[in-house]
């Protein structure tokens, strides 16, 4: 099977592929747990057997170290596959529903049926992870899928295309490569479900397109995820956790700490500890360190560098890093102090290796600041004081929160992953991903109930029986 590629007539080719899968959708929907698990194992084994090809592709796209590929691409896919394999048979079983007294004589259950034709549009920052994890969830629910990877990472996109071509027939799962024009044509089609990972701005475009067909959607978006450090926090541990995850993948992570809000008494200690840990991780010449990848392309490099230049021009102080190299799309891990809301770095999701620091003296300042913005995908809290932690959790909203660490919720298979409103709609991972790609179908079967007792004519007897049911049942 050759994976479909868009050449001349975009509209015709995507429509042909869509119709081909639609004709096969019910066949795939009727597959059992064993058959779906076999497919998931094929995907997992391909990933494990082709780790070097994946690492080579991601190095070619933006110099990602093989260790980062294992951590952020291979491990999440394999973990998701193993978790689904272990639990899928249980998830697929009909769920028996309790019968209320007014329904005596009936039995009820919920079954999970495949939504049908699904579209997955995946991003460039973790191209394998964020394409294949939702694909595994779609497979687990029994769907047919068109997968559109990002053209920003051409080597990864090509390899994903080759992978799917090796493993599946195109009437079940197929990859369509191309730019935004291809996505536009795909979004015109009447998919049963669309799973999109990317920016809130493009998420709104996807949602508007889905609305025209009343298509259900999952939007994995992003935003400015705050990291709050109070006066009781272990500053050394906080600095290590934050810097490690902020600068992983060059800061191009949707759940990376976007900015720090720290108690003013701890700022100097934090900056000192963070710089020491950055030196430990990447040495004194970060440009030559192979462990540190690059901004993905010139356009995004220019975007992130403009945030840095704008902040410095408006009074921000570089207290760590700050060096850049235009030829290599290189921005050193950079820490900024004295930032304010007039700066782009505090207005936009950074999605790059810049870490701004705000200071506070009163926790209410933090809560007011966080709540005046969009609800974040993640909110991180560093504190030793349980009352402070609880107060921050109770007075803010986020897709997820992690205490005394960052980003590790991504590895917790039993939790839902997703945002709130501007940072995302819907949940994924494990059972939540299976349910996101499924329709929960309610089934009621009448065994011996006599509902005809309540049919017209509405006699006094019927009215009395209705009164009894309303009052007592």
Number of other CB atoms surrounding residue 444 within 10 Å: 12
Task: Give the whole-angstrom CA distance, residue 255 versus residue 129.
Answer: 14
Q: Are 400 and 417 in contact (CB under 8 A)?
A: yes
Nearest to 269 by CA among 357, 392, 365, 367: 357
387 class by beta-carbon count within 10 Å (0-12 exposed, 13-18 middle, 19+ buried): exposed
Contact 120, 146 (CB under 8 A): yes
Distance CA 19, CA 5 (A): 16
Query: What stretches of 113-227 show up as alpha helix (H) in DSSP?
Result: 129-140, 154-167, 180-187, 200-212
| SS3 call for 68 | helix
CA atoms of 122 and 254, how far apart (whole Å): 13
Rg (CA), the chain: 25
Instruction: Report yes or no: 358 and 267 within 8 Å, Cβ to Cβ.
Output: no
- CA–CA separation, 60 vs 405, rounded Å? 31
List the Cα angle 25/30/32 in 5-degree steps. 130
Under DSSP, the state recorded for 5 is: B
Q: Hey, is 402 helix, strand or coil? A: strand
Q: Are 352 and 307 in contact (CB under 8 A)?
A: yes
For 134, 213, 248, 281, the CA distances from 129, given in Å and listed in that order, are 9, 28, 15, 24
397 Cβ partners below 8 Å, 6+ apart? 371, 375, 420
User: Is 293 labeled as catalytic in the residue annotation?
Assistant: no
CA 213-216-221 angle, 5° bins: 115
Whole-angstrom distance, CA of residue 37 vs CA of residue 444: 29
Catalytic one among 80, 170, 177, 254? Answer: 254
CA distance readout (Å), 156 to 186, 246, 290? 20, 23, 19
Is 220 a catalytic site residue? Answer: yes
- Please choose, from the candidates 273, 281, 275, 262, the residue with its C-alpha nearest in 3D space to the C-alpha of residue 237: 273
Catalytic residue (one of 177, 220, 332, 435): 220
Residues marked as catalytic: 220, 254
């Amino acid at each position: 099977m050759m994976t479909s590629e868009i050449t001349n007539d975009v509209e015709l080719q995507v429509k042909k592929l869509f119709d081909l899968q639609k004709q096969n959708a019910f066949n795939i929907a009727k597959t059992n747990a064993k058959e779906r698990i076999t497919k998931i194992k094929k995907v997992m084994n391909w990933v494990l057997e082709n780790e070097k090809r994946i690492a080579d592709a991601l190095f070619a796209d933006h110099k990602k170290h093989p260790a980062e590929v294992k951590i952020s691409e291979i491990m999440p896919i394999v973990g998701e596959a193993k978790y689904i394999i272990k639990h899928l048979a249980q998830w697929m079983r009909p769920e028996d529903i309790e019968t209320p007294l007014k329904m005596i004589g009936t039995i009820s259950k919920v079954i999970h049926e495949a939504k049908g034709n699904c579209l997955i549009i995946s991003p460039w920052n973790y191209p394998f992870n964020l394409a294949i994890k939702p694909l595994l969830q779609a497979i687990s629910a029994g769907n047919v899928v068109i997968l559109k990877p990002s053209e920003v990472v051409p080597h990864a996109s090509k390899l994903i295309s080759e992978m799917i071509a090796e493993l599946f027939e195109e009437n079940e799962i197929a990859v369509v490569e191309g730019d935004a024009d291809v996505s536009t044509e795909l979004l015109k089609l009447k998919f049963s479900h669309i799973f999109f990972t990317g920016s809130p701005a493009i998420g709104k475009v996807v949602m508007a397109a889905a609305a025209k067909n009343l298509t259900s959607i999952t939007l994995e978006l992003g935003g400015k995820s705050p990291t709050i450090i109070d006066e009781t926090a272990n500053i050394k541990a906080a600095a290590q956790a934050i810097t490690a995850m902020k600068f992983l993948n060059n800061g191009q992570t949707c759940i990376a700490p976007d900015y720090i809000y720290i108690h003013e008494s701890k700022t100097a200690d934090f900056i000192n500890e963070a710089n020491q840990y950055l030196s430990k991780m990447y040495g004194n010449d970060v440009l030559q360190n192979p462990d540190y990848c690059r901004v993905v392309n010139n356009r995004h490099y220019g975007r992130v560098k403009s945030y840095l230049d704008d902040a410095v021009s408006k009074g921000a102080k570089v207290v760590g890093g700050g060096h850049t190299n235009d030829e290599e799309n290189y921005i050193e891990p950079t820490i900024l102090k004295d930032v304010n809301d007039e700066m782009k770095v505090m207005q936009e999701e950074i999605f790059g290796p810049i870490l701004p620091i705000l200071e506070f003296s009163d926790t209410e300042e933090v809560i007011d600041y966080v709540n005046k913005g969009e609800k974040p995908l993640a909110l991180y809290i560093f504190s030793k004081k349980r009352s402070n932690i609880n107060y921050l959790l109770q007075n803010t909203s986020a897709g997820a929160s992690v205490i005394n660490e960052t980003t590790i919720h991504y590895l917790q298979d039993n939790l839902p992953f997703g945002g709130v409103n501007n940072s995302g709609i819907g949940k994924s991972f494990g059972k939540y991903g299976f349910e996101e790609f499924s329709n929960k179908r309610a089934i009621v079967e009448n065994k011996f109930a006599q509902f005809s007792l309540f049919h017209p004519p509405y006699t006094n007897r019927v009215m009395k029986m209705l009164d009894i049911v309303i009052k007592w049942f």
